[in-house]
A = this chain, B = another copy of it.
Amino acid sequence: MIDPHLVGIEIRHLRYFLAVCEELHLGRAALRLGMTQPPLGRAIRALEAGLGVILFQRSSRGVMPTAAGKALAVEARKLVEAFDFAVAEARRIGRSEGKAKRKFTSA
């Protein structure tokens, strides 16, 4: 039912990808994400491999999104926003219900 090809791609990868898109620089993006360049670079490469798409053109001065990268960035941003919104909503519902039951608020 689920295409096995998209296994392994997670929201985290999209967050990394967007940070790189905005910074155009692995070092700054990694700093903003609270990590270091190597794992970020690997994650981007893994994402590219998983998608079968080259997302950035690397140079000695930074990175530049390809056409495919720019297109994905638009979708990825909407996806991450929707994801975060849904999570926030779920937590809000939890707080509303939790007021009566008091189960997870202290745990």
Contact = CB atoms under 8 A, between A and B. Distances in A.
A95 B76 CA distance: 19
A9 B15 CA distance: 12
Secondary structure type dominating chain A contacts: helix
Contact of A90 (B1, B72, B89): B72
A5 B94 CA distance: 14
A75 B84 contact: no
Interface size class for chain A? 35 or more
B6 A98 contact: no
A101 to B, nearest CB: 8
B105 A90 contact: no
A94 B53 contact: yes
